[in-house]
Structure 1
Amino acid sequence: MKILLADHHPVFRRGLKCMLKGDKKFNFKGKVEDGRFLIQEIQKHQPDVLILEIDLPNSNGVGTLRQLRNNFPDLKVLVVSCHPEEIYAISSIKAGADGFIAKTRSVKEITAALLTVCNNETFLSENIKKRESTDARKSEILKFKTLSTREIEVLNLLSRGKRNKEIAQDLAINEKTVSTYKTRLLKKLNVDNIAELIHQSRLLQITS
């Protein structure tokens, strides 16, 4: 299995490569530290699986996932992140990822995730599956599952404290469109103001 690792944290890259190098099923073909070179490295190495950090510099998160799905339909993409799994996992899968796993997971889980996506199956951690199994959790998460990929992108950026102008620049849309998305988010998540919207989003992540 040819693997390309796209991550800008040297310790994580070296650690993952070291942990998996003893397994003959995995063959690391290269690394990418900057989103500007992601496409050319995929074309160069032709990997079976791309391990993609969701916050790769000069990469547009789930927007990059959509681009990869369009350009490389046969490429398996396993998203890794140090952020809470719940919201990012859902948005990543919706945008075209084959799996999502937190960087804090064990070598055994990461290995299982790689094998799962290569077997044409979607990987989500048992942690997420268990939390979604409770009625209360289902009710809470269902609200977020009604959001479109773009609405989730806007919500994530709002939660990071970004203003309309910054969000518009990051997503390559105009500020009026950002305002429209914010209005939709208020309605869909049943809150009265942006502060409540951000609080609810962060609360869900904290309790994940």
Structure 2
Amino acid sequence: MQRILFYPYSEITTLRKAIIVDDHPFILASVRLLVINAGFEVVAECGNGIDAVQQCQKHQPDLMILDLAIPGLDGLDVIRRLKEKEIPTKIIVLSSQQSDQFTLRCLQAGAVGYVSKKDNLSILTDVINAAMAGYSFFPQLTPDVREHTFHTGEAQKLAALSNREMMVMKYLVNGLNNKQIAESLSLSEKTVSTYKSRILEKLNVSTVLALAEMAQRHEIE
């Protein structure tokens, strides 16, 4: 005799909720498809950090896929603010940054995974499944790398930079001028100039060239 099982309507129609935060339409479209195929409803898509925090407070999603280099608030600040508000959303960072410094900062801020945009995006599905099962995904960070990062002189100085200073540094070493950085981060040129001076002072270097050489040593792109 065939058994027919009945489930409450809510159990078979309720999808887990996700928010995607990235300011590149192609990335948004690609990630949206992967997230939907993983069994989520995409309840919001944001192109800046301020909207990301607001939408996360509004929807309380199960998952957020988050870029670091976004205007308004950068990705690291978004993670920090959400954790301060005790919002339990699992955050996976999807970024073009591959340096240990950025990966470590995401781990320390409270992200549960870190995927490089330079990898095949299909890996994101596995990372999402792992995160929802309670695991973290930071393949770049071996125990040796963590030990080295925290105990070398230059790395300690880099670790002392604020999240915003790290983002400004990234733009500086990639050749952007103050005006371009200001536009990218929605800041004034004067504020960027202040950040630049502060970064050089904290890292004990006098030129952007020396800053770029330090960034290269620590694989900050």
2:104 equivalent to 1:116: no
Match of 1:12 in 2: 27
Q: Which residues of structure 1 form unaligned runs of 5+?
A: none
How many angstroms does 1:44 deviate by?
2.7
Q: Deviations over 1:96-121 (max 9, x none)?
A: 32221112323452123223333444
2:97 equivalent to 1:86: no
Question: 2:203 aligned to 178, 185, 195, which one?
Answer: 185
Q: In 1, distance between residues paired with 2:55 and 2:35?
A: 21
Contact 1:90-1:145 at 8 Å conserved across structures: no
What percentage of aligned pairs have identical amino acids?
19
Question: 1:28 aligned to 35, 39, 42, which one?
Answer: 42
How many angstroms does 1:77 deviate by?
1.4
Match of 1:58 in 2: 72
1:80–1:197 CA distance, 2 compared to 1 (3 A): same
Contact 2:92-2:113 at 8 Å conserved across structures: yes
Secondary structure, counterpart of 2:64 in structure 1: strand
Q: In 1, distance between residues paired with 2:105 and 2:44?
A: 26
Q: Which residues of structure 2 form unaligned runs of 5+?
A: 1-15
Q: In 2, distance between residues paired with 1:139 and 1:33?
A: 31
The root-mean-square deviation of aligned C-alpha atoms, in Å, is 3.8
Residues 1-208 of structure 1 correspond to what in structure 2 (within 5 A)? 1-24=16-39, 26-125=40-139, 128-129=140-141, 133=144, 138=148, 142=152, 143-144=154-155, 147-150=159-162, 152-153=166-167, 155-160=169-174, 161-162=176-177, 169=187, 179-186=197-204, 194-205=208-219
Q: Which has the larger radius of gyration?
A: 2
Contact 1:66-1:96 at 8 Å conserved across structures: yes
Q: Give TM-score scaled by structure 2 length.
A: 0.68
Secondary structure, counterpart of 1:155 in structure 2: helix
Q: In 1, distance between residues paired with 2:107 and 2:22?
A: 19
Q: Give TM-score scaled by structure 1 length.
A: 0.71
How many angstroms does 1:154 deviate by?
5.2
